[in-house]
Amino acid sequence: MYHMKCAFFTLSSACAAFLALSGVQAAAPQNKLKYYLDQIETYRESARKKTLIELTKEVLEIRIKPAKKSDGVNSYNLGDKNSAKFIGYTEVLQERAEANEKDGQYFYGVYLLQACMSLNNGEHFPSYGNACIDAVKAFETAAEQGNPNAMQNLGMMYKFKLVKSNKSTVVSDWYFKAASLYYTNKETDKALNAIEEVLYENQFYPGGIQLKYVIENNIPLMDGDVTCEEMEKFPALVFHPIDLGSGLGSPVSIDYYCPKNLSQLEFLKPLVAQADNLRGSSGLPQICTGSIVHARWRYHQFALLKMGYYPQAYDNSPVKSTKVSSYFEDWSYQSFHNRALFKTHLKEIERVRPLLVKWYQNEHGVTAKVATSYTEIALRAISGYGYDTVPSYLSKPALLPYTAEATEGRYKQLIQSLGSPDQKVSDTAVLNSLRRLLVHEAPVDVIQKVIQHLSRVSEKGRMESLLSVAIKNSKYVEILLNAGFSPNLQNEFGKTPLYYAIEFNQHDSVRLLLEQGADINHKYNAGYEDSWHCLGVTYGRTPLMHAAQHADEAMVQLLLDKGADKALQDESGSTAVDYAQRHEDKNMINLITAKL
């Protein structure tokens, strides 16, 4: 099967390219073609037994004798054993590269580089039109795997314009990456040679200058222990791609609390703390978060160090204003708590922006324009650390037309777009738009008109009910309850709308919820097995306990009058009285204990 696939040019690039150039046709004499294909298979078996170095060396030494021109196509002798050897060997070389054998991509790239150069020097080494591009791809993969030779070859290919790039520093960048890795691997001579290439291309290249100084003065820089002093003196060397580990530990020791780490700047600390709070993993046991959170923290802090000590690394980055993720905004509409975090975060970004611009100007001596660019990159990194953990199920929601305008107080177009009450619209869009309108406190008549287009209430599972964001307005609550929204829909850790109404002291809303069947003795409960309390919730809490801790005496009295059981205990054994004691309200304690 392999031979026929190879003959019809559908297998590897090496096989297909060579057979195409050699003019092998399906119409060739069958006995001669069969013998030729058998030779290829023999060479394939031989190639599998060789080391990658041996195999690549033999491939590079192959030359194919030219034959007569056939149908205007440069052809090679079908019986030339070198042509069969070439196909068999390069096919296996490609297979071993694709199988991720150690250094397989690098040696495959070396073969492709030879094919690339053969396009230009007239050698009788089989080549094809995309050889140069494929060589770059192979070397880039090898570079990602940490092969400095691949990095150096990439620098050479761009230097001699075997491939094109729109990036002016591409040659210096690749040679510098190679030099840095050679230095890390203690291959000093190779590192110096690569540095010479860097400085030949750009004599002012910061990394090249600094690395040359480090090597010539025998400074133990890349010794696995990165200090603040090294960041200050050799930022271009310190802040290169580095392995910080993927779990609890790191192979490199880094001082993350250096003074120019953006997280250590006093005026930025509140924003950094907000991002950490949004991320929400702090304080939970490792069995809840996994060890990956430690690695994410290290990479984030290393990025903030880089932005503090070496923002010049971002000189070629496009300037974009800091915009919060649309998913973060969607998440903010899920509850009053989320919305408060969202608004506070946006306000803090606006507060620190001019301060950070000024800091970059003073600390790095750059223009206001450059400082603004650095600032936007930094703010996106700080904020992104917080909101890149917004649940993936919050994809961009379907909304009714003109919902954005309505949240700004312009309702006419939204109402007009809905048409008559019997006009069909997406229930999902109605629910999503309603959530936003409720949060933005739209007029009651607007809520009433929008909800008329809801064909059925489809809140399912464990999520924040629309009632939870409606409880500050009893008219909203009444409309939603009359439309069929359940007063007992629980969120992820078992909280119902009643708890929110209690927390915000909304007595009228509490009465409406209870009248429509809200469970007055409901208890928090996990939606799934949560043996380690990874949600950070004390389960078993009742509405009365919640009121004793968060609400006023009138709310507690209301719940007691409606039949709240004050003898119930949460999972820790606490009762409503215990919650009142934590609240340190003697009158409330007396109120609850009066009839015990």
CATH number of the domain encompassing residue 492: 1.25.40.20
Phi-psi sector, 526: left (phi>0), alpha (psi -120 to 50), beta: beta
Residues 205 and 248 in one domain: no
Task: Select from 361, 387, 413 the last residue of a domain.
Answer: 387
- Say if CB 457 and CB 465 are below 8 A apart: no
In the DSSP assignment, the letter for residue 514 is H
Vertex 184 angle, CA 206 and 262, to 5°:
55
Map tokens 């009632």 to a residue: 467
208 domain residue, yes or no? yes
230 domain residue, yes or no? no
Residues 267 and 293 in one domain: yes
3-state secondary structure of 66: strand
232 domain residue, yes or no? no
**pLDDT on residue 6:** 37
Residues 343 and 406 in one domain: no
472 domain residue, yes or no? yes
Residues 104 and 220 in one domain: yes
Structural domain including 428 reads: 397-456
pTM score above 0.85: no
Task: Select from 225, 255, 287 the last residue of a domain.
Answer: 225
Residues 6+ apart with CB under 8 A from 506: 471, 472, 474
Q: 203-241 burial, b for 16+ CB within 10 Å, e for fewer?
A: eebbbbbbbbebbeeebebbeeebebebbebbbbbbbbe
Tokens of 439: 């949060």
Residues 430 and 518 in one domain: no
434-to-135, 393, 450, 575 alpha-carbon distances in Å: 55, 19, 7, 37
Supply φ then ψ for residue 500, to 5 degrees: -65, -40
Vertex 259 angle, CA 257 and 263, to 5°:
65
349 domain residue, yes or no? yes
Residues 439 and 515 in one domain: no
93-to-99, 255, 378 alpha-carbon distances in Å: 10, 44, 44
Residues 491 and 413 in one domain: no
Cα atoms found within 13 Å of the Cα of residue 139, Cβ hemisphere only: 28
3-state secondary structure of 558: helix
139 domain residue, yes or no? yes
Task: Select from 360, 387, 414 the last residue of a domain.
Answer: 387
Residues 500 and 575 in one domain: yes
Residues 6+ apart with CB under 8 A from 273: none
200-to-29, 217, 314, 318 alpha-carbon distances in Å: 56, 21, 23, 27
Query: CB atoms < 10 A from the CB of 52, how many?
Result: 18
Long-range pairs of 354-358 with CB within 8 A, sequence gap ≥ 24: 355/267, 355/268, 356/262, 356/265, 356/267, 356/268
pLDDT tens, residue order, the chain (596 aa): 222 223 322 234 444 444 444 444 444 455 777 888 888 899 999 999 999 999 999 999 887 765 544 433 344 455 566 888 988 999 999 999 999 999 999 999 999 999 888 865 555 677 777 889 999 999 999 999 999 999 999 999 999 999 888 888 899 999 999 998 898 888 999 999 999 999 999 888 888 888 898 888 887 766 678 899 999 999 988 887 777 888 778 888 899 999 999 999 999 999 999 998 887 644 444 445 566 778 889 999 999 999 999 999 887 655 555 556 677 888 889 888 889 999 999 999 999 999 999 999 999 999 999 999 999 999 999 988 887 655 544 457 889 999 999 999 999 999 999 887 777 788 989 999 999 999 999 999 999 999 999 988 877 666 789 999 999 999 999 999 999 999 999 887 789 999 999 999 999 999 999 999 999 999 987 544 444 455 556 678 999 999 998 999 999 999 999 999 999 998 889 999 999 998 788 888 888 888 55
**pLDDT on residue 279:** 77
461 domain residue, yes or no? no
- Say if CB 541 and CB 573 are below 8 A apart: no
Q: Is the dihedral of CA 3, 7, 10, 12 positive or negative?
A: positive
Alpha-carbon distance of 327 to 49, in angstroms, equals 53
Alpha-carbon distance of 75 to 251, in angstroms, equals 55
Alpha-carbon distance of 466 to 473, in angstroms, equals 12
Residues 139 and 207 in one domain: yes
Alpha-carbon distance of 14 to 9, in angstroms, equals 10
Q: What total number of domains does the chain contain?
A: 4
Residues 452 and 525 in one domain: no
**pLDDT on residue 461:** 62
462 domain residue, yes or no? no
Residues 6+ apart with CB under 8 A from 63: 82, 123, 124, 125
Residues 70 and 166 in one domain: yes
Of 206, 140, 213, 142, nearest in space to 183 by CA: 213
- Say if CB 440 and CB 407 are below 8 A apart: yes
Residues 201 and 262 in one domain: no
